[in-house]
Amino acid sequence: MVPDALLAACFMVLLLAEVLLTPEMTPHAPLAVGVVAMSLPLAWRRASPAVVAIVVCLAHAVVGAIASGPLSPQFAIFPVLVAIYTAASLTRGRVAVVTGAGTALLTVAGWVITDVGHVDEFWPWMLWAGAWASGTFVRRRGDLAAHHAARAALLEVEARTTAIASANAERDRIAREMHDVVAHSVSVMVVQAGAERLRLGTAAGRTGEALAAIEESGRTALGELRAMLGVLRDGSDEPHVPVPTLAGLPGLLDRVRAVGLPVTLTCQPADLLDDERVRSTGAGIAAYRIVQEALTNVMRHQGLVATQLDLHCGGECLSVTIVSGALGTAHDAGTSVGRGLRGMRERAVALGGTLEAGARDGRYVVHARLPLTVAATS
Q: What's CA 291's distance to the chain center, in Å?
A: 12
pLDDT in tens, 181-210: 576 567 767 777 877 877 787 777 788 878
Q: In angstroms, what CA-CA distances link 136 with 44, 129, 130, 335, 374?
A: 19, 10, 10, 25, 50
Angle between helices 28-39 and 2-20 (to 10 degrees): 160
Q: Cα angle vertex 9, ends 5, 11, to 5°?
A: 120
Per-residue confidence (pLDDT) for residue 138, from 0 to 100: 92
| CA distance linking residue 88 with residue 98, whole number of Å | 11
Per-residue confidence (pLDDT) for residue 222, from 0 to 100: 73
Q: In angstroms, what CA-CA distances link 84 with 20, 40, 52, 90?
A: 26, 15, 9, 10
Per-residue confidence (pLDDT) for residue 280, from 0 to 100: 60
Q: pTM of the entire structure?
A: 0.48
Per-residue confidence (pLDDT) for residue 235, from 0 to 100: 53
The residue ranges of the chain whose pLDDT is under 50 are 236-241, 328-337, 375-378
Q: Please, which residues have CB within 8 angstroms of residue 47's CB and are 6 or more apart in sequence? A: 1
pLDDT in tens, 129-142: 999 999 999 999 98
Per-residue confidence (pLDDT) for residue 137, from 0 to 100: 94
